[in-house]
Amino acid sequence: MSATMKDTADVSAVTARQLLIDLVSIPSPSDEEADAAGRLVEFFEAYGREAWIDEVGNVRAPADDSVLLTSHVDTVPGEIPVEVEPADEDDVAADVADETGVDVLRGRGSVDATGPLAAMAAAAVRTGVSFVGVVGEETNSRGARHLVADREEPEAVVNGEPSGATGITLGYRGFLAGTYVATSESGHTSRPEPNAIQHATNWWTTVEDAFEHDEYTPVFERVTAKPVAIDGGISEDGLSVETTLDVQLRIPPSLDAETVRETAEAELEIGTVSWAEPIPPVMESPRTEVARAFRAAIRKEGGDPRLLRKTGTSDMNLYAGAWDCPMVTYGPGNSELDHAPDERLSLAEFDQSVAVLTRVATTLRGGDE
Greater model confidence, 189 or 94: 189
Greater model confidence, 93 or 137: 137
Q: Are the CB atoms for 306 and 168 separated by under 8 Å?
A: yes
Of these residues, 74, 161, 284, 301, which one is catalytic? 74
- The architecture CATH gives domain 13-173+282-364: 3-Layer(aba) Sandwich (3.40)
Give the separation between CA 104 and CA 96, rounded to whole angstroms. 13
What band does 369 get if pLDDT is binned at 50, 70 and 90? low
List, by residue range, all CATH 3.30.70.360 domains of the chain: 174-275
Greater model confidence, 134 or 99: 134
130: exposed, middle or buried (C-beta count within 10 Å: 0-12, 13-18, 19+)? buried
Known active-site residue 74: yes
Known active-site residue 83: no
Read off the pLDDT of residues 272-327 as tens digits, 9 standing for 90 and up: 999 999 999 999 999 999 999 999 999 999 999 999 999 999 999 999 999 999 99
Quote the percentage of the chain above a pLDDT of 70: 93
In the CATH hierarchy, which top-level class contains the domain 174-275?
A: alpha beta
Reply yes or no on whether the pLDDT at 1 is more than 50: no
Greater model confidence, 234 or 42: 42
What band does 2 get if pLDDT is binned at 50, 70 and 90? very low
What band does 3 get if pLDDT is binned at 50, 70 and 90? very low
Reply yes or no on whether the pLDDT at 6 is more than 60: no
Strand blocks (E) in 186-321? 224-234, 240-251, 272-275, 282-283, 306-310
Of these residues, 95, 137, 242, 349, which one is catalytic? 137
List, by residue range, all CATH 3.40.630.10 domains of the chain: 13-173+282-364
Greater model confidence, 236 or 352: 352
